[in-house]
Structure 1
Amino acid sequence: MGLFARLLGRSDTGGDRRAAADAPPAAGAQGRPRVDPAFGDPELARLRAFAAVGSWPAARAILDAAADQDDLTLMVAAVADVPGAEALVGKALAAAPDDPLLHLVQGARHVSWAWEARTRASARNVTEEQWKTFHERLESAEEHLYRAAELDPQLLGPWYFLQISGRGASLDREAARNRFEAALRRSPGHLASHRQRLQQLCEKWQGSHEEMHAFARRTMLAAPEGSPHGELVARAHIEHWLSLPPEEDAAYMGQEHVRAELHEAADRSVRHPDYVRGRDWAVTHNEFAMAFALAGQPAAANLLLTELGDLVTELPWAYWGDPAEVYQRTRQQCAGH
């Protein structure tokens, strides 16, 4: 195992890790990074706070002001990870049972709620009762999401979240592809849907390394230079690394063609002069930082870590332990390069 693999201390459980659903955490000691589920975005932080205290009208006002369908879907995802949001939205739905946005938010919340029931254990360690609750909540999620799509066919959100619920329900390949394509018909460049499709094509789900890498590269090249879609290349290499035994993973990431592909992807996205940071820009930066660190490219990783500062996303770091701690160790190792 190579230097950075040892540094990161792999502890993957084999499960599909969902983002932390706690209220925005308090900062730790000065200079310590922390996971921020709002990605450092003040509006997303306010939205999550309103949902956490049960203020649906205030949360709804922010959702109604979304810039476009991509923005709305990201906002709904922020609400979906707030514990207890299902009760808040349930009350609102009782008063407005044909509101498509309410069905979308409730469906998204039930997807996250389902993964909470499963916990972070590997599939073999999930209890029968946990599986039962997991599938019940996924079924409820799909009912709400399809109802939202029926009430407002222009919504992107239902088709994004249906990709996640479908993976949890082990949907067949054709049905999974149909959900992805339905999302793209509403927003061809939706990065989050491409992230979900990449997961679907992982070897651990229904795909293969070859399919996954081909999809990532094809999507990157089809997107305009300066778009964040190069992130998919980094994600694919991390997924490939994760699938390998410890005696092979470092050698894989250290290959020249892997390093070259990572640099090419960064040059077309986060290092391109036309790159514009969206609300969730930190997701892309954290992915590249991890990938470069694993590939033995500390200077490239350090550039991104410096830009991020203390802003950590749970993934990809949580695959290998406490995300803030893993991030901090990586930052210390890369500093000065």
Structure 2
Amino acid sequence: MSSPTNAVSTENPRAKTGRIRDVLTRGNGRVPMLQLVMLATLIILGASLIPGFTRLNSVYSMLIIASFLGLAALGQTLVVLLGGLDLSVPAFIVLSAMLTSELHGTYGWPFPAIAAFIVLVSLVVGGISGYLSHKYRVQPLIVTLGVGTVVTGATLIWIGGKQPGSAPAFLSNFVSPVGTTFGLKIPPAVVLWCLLAVGIGFILRHTKFGKSLYATGSSIRAAELALVPTRRIWVSAFSLSALFAAVVGALLAGFSGSADLTMGDPYLFQSLTAVIVGGTAFGARGDYWHTFIGALLLTVLSTILIGVGFSSSDQTIIYGILILVVVAGYSRDRALRDRV
């Protein structure tokens, strides 16, 4: 009989490596090593190519831009974990930006009333997308495309071609690179993003809602047999996606000083790209921290590309290549590859 020591010493080293890789890539505890390496590489590249890239103001500016993308991708992450896509994100961004600017600048509403109204509208309309997708087993891509079109049309009718008013001044300070949080020289928008990331990360990992969401995304039929309230999960995920998109809209109104009908367009592709580049796959594989890294990675990459003179179309091509690189990096995990 061999001793335990001998048993360990004769173990196939490839098996050890495989087990270590499994630990790093299993389920929701997967460490986004590829993305972290790519992010570090891009930071070094940016510092070498663009003067002032690592100055504090530049870093804060990139973090604010990343917070917009990260918040838009937050709700998208929840929907992707369920196995769907939310194409209504740009519509809710524009709706919120228009409501924020118009209700404050034209009608003089106090911001708490504006915020409450936006939250109510986004939760209800976003929840309708989740309800319809679940009840009728329709692809969320189709439902959210329709809902987003309705929201955009309603916004156009309400604005009626008028120039919207101005956003509240405190929102401009909230998203300013020189803004402060409790006396600290940290932009409040960045603090908000980080706090929400921590909160959502905790909810997904340690609460009944998070476990139910993963169970539903993994297999809705099995989740229903286990008495998971799948309809409530779908409605909640799409409501939150609309809500976080609305938060981005309000912040963008403050960032720009007003609103326009195209300001949400970049966030449809970019929010999904941040999710996929971060390593979250369709149907209960990944978590928001991966999307968080993905948003940072895309923002740094975009800053570098703009700094060296690439056009927006060139950036889109490079984003597509980046998605292929990340998917190829996980190609040994067949289940993940197939879902992405």
Per the normalisation by structure 1, the TM-score is 0.26
Higher-RCO chain (CA-CA 8 Å, sequence separation at least 6): 2
Structure with the higher helix share, 1 or 2: 2
Q: Find the structure with the greater CA-based Rg.
A: 2
